[in-house]
């Protein structure tokens, strides 16, 4: 099970060396629940990632404003860690909040912006954009 995003931020702040942060990122990826094979569809595939990345979005409409929930996976260890960080950051937010949330700012605070390769950074931005699109679609339907 993934820790809350506040705990992830605290743990990144505690780890001073990039190698330790890199290991922690991969550890977060290992904590993702397995993505069922039926969720590995073309519709769930994130375009713009060099690695294979799937994000499955579901909506909980109970208790007022629709809340988004995410499951995800990647075939690359570091990218899977990036997926885990994004899920921890966005999961359970209202669609409106998710559409406005500053995931790029989070990546800067964690030091990921400066330490991920250009390809992985582009992939992370593609994942963030996909989540924003899903959130906007849910907000429009609400």
Bridge partners, residue 54, by sequence: 45, 73
Active-site amino acid positions:
49
- How far is it, in rounded angstroms, from Cα 68 to Cα 91? 6
Is 46:127 a contact under the CB 8 Å cutoff?
Answer: yes
Calculate the alpha carbon distances from 56 to 20, 73, 83, 105, 127 in Å: 29, 9, 11, 23, 11
Is 31:88 a contact under the CB 8 Å cutoff?
Answer: no
- How far is it, in rounded angstroms, from Cα 17 to Cα 11? 12
Residue 50's SS3 state is coil
């Amino acid at each position: 099970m993934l820790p809350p995003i506040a705990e992830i931020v605290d743990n990144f702040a505690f780890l001073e060396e990039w190698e330790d942060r890199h290991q922690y990122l991969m550890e977060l990826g290992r904590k993702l629940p397995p993505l069922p094979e039926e969720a590995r569809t073309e519709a769930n595939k994130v375009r713009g990632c060099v690695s294979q990345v799937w994000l499955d979005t579901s909506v909980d409409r109970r208790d007022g404003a629709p809340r988004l929930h995410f499951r995800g996976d990647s075939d690359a260890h570091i990218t899977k860690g990036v997926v885990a960080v994004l899920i921890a950051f966005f999961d359970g937010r209202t669609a409106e909040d998710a559409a406005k949330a500053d995931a790029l700012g989070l990546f800067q605070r964690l030091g990921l912006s400066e330490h991920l390769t250009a390809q992985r950074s582009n992939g992370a931005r593609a994942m963030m954009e996909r989540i924003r699109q899903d959130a906007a679609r849910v907000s429009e339907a609400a």
